Structure 1
Amino acid sequence: MAKPTPLSGFPEWLPDGRIVEQHVLDTLRHTFELHGFAGIETRAVEPLDQLLRKGETSKEVYLLSRLQQENSQIPDKQLGLHFDLTVPFARYVLENAGRIAFPFRRYQIQKVWRGERPQDGRFREFVQADIDIVGAGELPYHFEVEAPLVMAEALGALGEIGLPPVRILVNNRRVAEGFYRGVGLEDVEGVLRQIDKLDKIGPEKVSELLVTECGATDDQAKACLALASISGSDVSVIDEVRALAESYGAVTELLETGLAELGALIAAAAQRAPGVVVADLKIARGLDYYTGSVYETVLVGHEQLGSVCSGGRYDTLASDGKNTYPGVGLSIGVSRLVSRLLSADLVEATRSVPSAVLVAVASEDERATSDAVAAALRARDIPVEVAPSAAKFGKQIKYADRRGIPFVWFPGSAGEDGAVGADQVKDIRSGDQVDADAASWAPSDEDRWPRVVPRG
């Protein structure tokens, strides 16, 4: 068989990389559950018309033609793998509205598939971790404050292993819409889509697009860019926006509502996560279902990676025509985070295997004795493996060293008088060897399981 060729955009980690990923997932899950979010998992497949109902491009979706042909329930519908977790969650809420309690707090950690060109931190198959809070009919604004602060706590917990500090950039769609309408622009969604391109193509090209695509005058485009240039981590940013609006005669009731909400978020964040949350008026989030707060998160020092966590408030994503379920949520690109942690050598696993102990085998006739030792240690939550062969002890120690296993256990052997000596365990890093009993000996907490630590 010829050597296989890797598929671009489908990440596969080595065992130590998988340990890093699992630590990230466990930390996120633990933080989400601390805040009362319940875990769910949705199916991987959705009808194409549902995946595209908010204007996304079909180029992002992987279609499943065979499943479509075999599914007699919906023979006329194309089926595709979900490219994020938001649309499946909206469908989940509608299907289960009578069986869940609102406001519904959910987290979801699952793979998604997206048809885009692979590049640094961007994959065709990747893991997302989402949180959402959804209400029935209404959802108070304070949840728009809570959601990003939960994410700030979750990402901050990963700082212990070497994740760089994060900055959560926030804006409010009501501020943007109120200002744009105040200066006379009606194509609000179009303006938001162009402003969302600022970091990619720069202000000059965005200004041109505002004029050619959105019907803005040069002065209106200038006003939009002036708003987008405002940022700050304290409530003084609110006064700066209001002053700009006054200079253009663009103060509206909607703008004032948005400024009050944005100010409340910035004030709360200054208390609970100082320096983490920053108001940035160029954050637009091009998807049209966002209606209030919007969020994007970058790693400090790794801004070129783009946003690693984003989301916002939505009022009509989940609706059955009679009932509407507004919500707010954020999504972490877990694979993007892990790829940067590994590729930039920011973290490492203390070993690549779970085993803390290798139980040596004196001879194949005595393998049962080694198996019994291993079973006794595992019963006490110590990860163990038994040597694959009864080679010389020196070779078995080398095997443990290659695997990164810190301890080798030697079952007691019978002496000339027939008495069986004590078992011994050797720390192959230091060379220390002591008598040991499988009913009481244990490695240190640091050695029991592999850990993820900052590299260096």
Structure 2
Amino acid sequence: MASKVTPISGFQEWLPRERIAEQYVLDTIREVFELHGFASVSTRAVEPVERLSDQGEDADKEIYAVSRLAGGDDEARLGLHFDLTVPFARYVLENSGKLTFPFRRYQIQPAWRGERPQRGRYREFIQADVDIIDAAELPGHYEAELLLVIADVFGRLPVGAYQVHVNNRKICEGFYRAIGIEDVIGTLRIVDKLDKIGEDGVASLLLAAGCSQEQADRCLALARIRTSDTSFVQQVRALGVSHPVLEEGLTHLASVMETAAEHAPGVAVADLRIARGLDYYTGTVYETMLERDPGYGSVCSGGRYDALASDGKRTYPGVGISIGVSRLLGLLIGEEGLTASRETPAAVLVAVNDEETRSDSIRIAAALRSRGVPTLVAPKAAKFGKQIQFADRRGIPYVWFPGAGERGGDAVKDIRSGDQVDADAASWTPPAADLHATLVTPGSSD
């Protein structure tokens, strides 16, 4: 007896037009990453659970454990990776003798989190990461460079207005230590909940964690600072707190903001409430918000990590930023209706006059494909009206008719306009705008 098909929440599966739109976004991201000199790597899906669970307060709650159904108790405990940074750090350690540093990598792969699916959050999702990692020391200018990479990507995608919110965790660390707070990581985790529980909720958690009312008030005062230039430096100093680590963080963040102002004006915001929940971040941190829907949360985030890739003898500091592709497309495709101009890559359907001459149609298709024209041969030698209808339903803009030319050659028809012209498969090419499927945004025409 066939079992009933039951949907599983938290997984994206797109229809063909939507899948083409997803591939367009992925190809754009890949192209920009390579334009900026990043090399592609791919890492395995699983890591030891102990390595994954050592990355933050809630990391162990999100890991999908993996084991054979017939496995024994002596099997190594493995889990699906919940991001691409942890496996990349392991990859660097295993291959350090073969890599050239500073190493620039990009990685576009699925990741998995065992959390409750909700708007913009999935159990399986695609991330697109770029990282720069070096041996022993990593210059701070890379932290500004990654922001410019993301600005380049988002400038080519239909995301509308957006802002990259930037902070430096050294600002928070130095500030907290200066006012007498020793549990820096715990305080960062609490402040990182501001968007979810608000100032009153954060204040209550800080007090419960042992902070005084004055310390809690000062933490919130720091988190309220947000500027589109380097004036945050003066605002922080006006709080009357000084510490060497704080000054270091202010200097680094000011440098990032100055670079962004020159090369991507209006994109960066210094936002001192941004903390990021994972423990491995040590410097600059990023979160990217779409201005039309800031409540959707960050669609691109990351930061600097100094000790994640370390074998006890050598340390490889790095900085990375990750585009939540599935999260972004959940909004663009799933909610706003972004799609593609056709449901197949084919730009041309070669008609079949009759089954005896199908080989002629196949030869025409081969000639077109040899010059990069995506082409499909009609499945049946039906009436031409039905073959045109076949193409129209799939969004294929051109139908090729063997032997229908005025001089005995072939003809090709634009079924949108009805225009038909003589054509030779050895030379004819559709306009560049029709060669590949294009994105269609809601309200626009294809």
Q: TM-score, normalised by structure 2?
A: 0.96
Name the CA distance, whole Å, in 1 between partners of 2:74 and 2:93: 22
Aligned residues of 1:228 and 1:281 also touching (Cα < 8 A): yes
1: CA distance, partners of 2:59 / 2:255: 35
Q: Offset of 1:90 from its aligned partner?
A: 0.8
SS in structure 2 of the partner of residue 28 of structure 1 = helix
Q: Which residue of 2 aligns with 1:117?
A: 116
1:234 partnered with 2:229? yes
Whether contact under 8 Å (1:377, 1:383) holds in the other structure is yes
Q: Deviations over 1:131-189 (max 9, x none)?
A: 1111111111111111122112112221xxx2122211011111111111111111111
Q: How does 1:95-174 map to 2 (within 5 A)?
A: 95-158=94-157, 162-174=158-170
Distance 1:318 1:68 in 2: 34
The match for 1:54 is 55
Counterpart position of 2:365 = 374
Distance in 1 between residues matched to 2:392 and 2:283, nearest whole Å: 55
- SS class of match (2:79): strand
Q: Which residue of 2 aligns with 1:20?
A: 21
Determine the structure 1 residue equivalent to 2:425. 438
Amino acid corresponding to residue 89 of structure 2 in structure 1: A
| In 1: Cα distance, 2:295 partner to 2:244 partner | 36
After TM superposition, the runs of 4+ consecutive aligned structure 1 residues lying more than 6 A away are: none
Where does residue 174 of structure 2 map in the other structure? 178
| 1:450 equivalent in structure 2 | 437
Tell me if structure 1 keeps the 8 A contact 2:405–2:421. no
Counterparts of residues 193-342 of structure 1 (less than 5 Å): 193-213=189-209, 215-244=210-239, 246=240, 250-342=241-333
Give CA deviations for 1:232-273 in whole Å, capped at 9, x if unaligned: 0111111111111x1xxx211111111111111111111111
1:408 CA drift (Å): 0.9
In structure 1, what is the equivalent of residue 39 of structure 2?
38
- Aligned counterparts of 1:99 and 1:445: Cα–Cα separation in 2: 42
Letter in 1 for 2:78: L
Q: Distance in 2 between matches of 1:345 and 1:188?
A: 40
Residue 18 of structure 2 contacts residue 340 of structure 2 at CA under 8 Å; is this kept in 1? Answer: yes
Q: Provide the secondary structure at the position in 2 that maps to 1:69.
A: coil
Once the 2 structures are TM-superposed, how far is the Cα of residue 59 of structure 1 from its aligned partner? 2.5
**One of 343, 346, 349 as aligned partner of 2:340:** 349
Distance 2:69 2:80 in 1: 11
Rounded Cα–Cα distance in structure 1 between residues aligned with 2:289 and 2:370: 43
Deviates more, 1:117-126 or 1:54-63: 54-63
RMSD over equivalenced CA pairs, Å = 1.7
1:350-376 CA deviation, whole Å, 9 max, x = no partner? Answer: 111111111111111111111111111
**Unpaired segments ≥5 residues, structure 1:** none
How far apart are residue 54 of structure 1 and its match? 2.2
Classify 1:196/1:435 alpha carbon distance in 2 versus 1 (closer, same or farther; 3 Å). same
- Deviation (angstroms), 1:328: 0.6
Task: Give TM-score, length-normalised by structure 1.
Answer: 0.94
One-letter code aligned to 2:62: E
Amino acid at match of 2:346: S
Q: How many residues align?
A: 441
* Structure 2: runs of 5+ lacking an equivalent: none
How much does 1:346 deviate? Answer: 5.7
Q: CA deviation at 1:454?
A: 3.3
Identity fraction in percent:
60
* 2:215 aligned partner, one-letter code: Q
1:383 matched to 2:374? The reply is yes
2: distance between equivalents of 1:309 and 1:68? 39
How big is the shift at 1:3? 5.2
Give, as a single letter, the amino acid of the residue that structure 2 aligns with 1:348. Answer: T
